[in-house]
Amino acid sequence: MSLIHSLIDYLRGSKPKSASVARERLQVILAHEGGRGAPEYLPQLRQDLIAVLCKYVPVDPEQVKMHVGRHDGYDLLELDIVLPERAGNGH
């Protein structure tokens, strides 16, 4: 996106472009679905994890992010779970 376009967008007060929304949505959903090369059990594991978590704390499924990748020659399973804010005594 060129500077001129950004400027025009700014002057018009336009919303984020739909193409960038599409790109972000795709990146999120494909990461959730495991993507290629990821183990086939990933979507099921994610669901099971959410079910277990929900037994203890009401998590928002959208706030459970799972990613399989490689790091320094190891297969790495990354889990990123945002716990809900505790109601009540200010934690």
Partner 1 sequence: MATVVVVTSGKGGVGKTTSSASFATGLALRGHKTAVVDFDVGLRNLDLIMGCERRVVYDFINVIQGEATLRQALIKDKHTENLFVLPASQTRDKDALTEEGVGRVLDELKQEFDYIVCDSPAGIEKGALMALYYADAALVVTNPEVSSVRDSDRILGILQAKSKRAETGAEPVREHLLITRYSPRRVEIGEMLSVEDVQEILRVPLIGVIPESEMVLQASNSGDPVIHANGHDVAEAYRDVVSRFLGEERPMRFLDPDKKGFFKRLFGG
Is 57 a binder of partner 1 (CB under 8 A)?
Answer: no
Collect all residues with Cβ–Cβ distance below 8 Å to 55 and sequence separation of at least 6.
none
Q: How far is the CB of 60 from partner 1 (least distance, A)?
A: 22
Is 36 a binder of partner 1 (CB under 8 A)?
Answer: yes
The span from the first CA to the last CA of the chain, in angstroms, equals: 42
Is 19 a binder of partner 1 (CB under 8 A)?
Answer: yes
Q: How far apart are CA 76 and CA 70, in angstroms?
A: 5
Contacts with partner 1 by CB under 8 A lie at 1, 4-5, 8, 12, 17-20, 22-23, 25-27, 29-30, 33, 35-37, 40
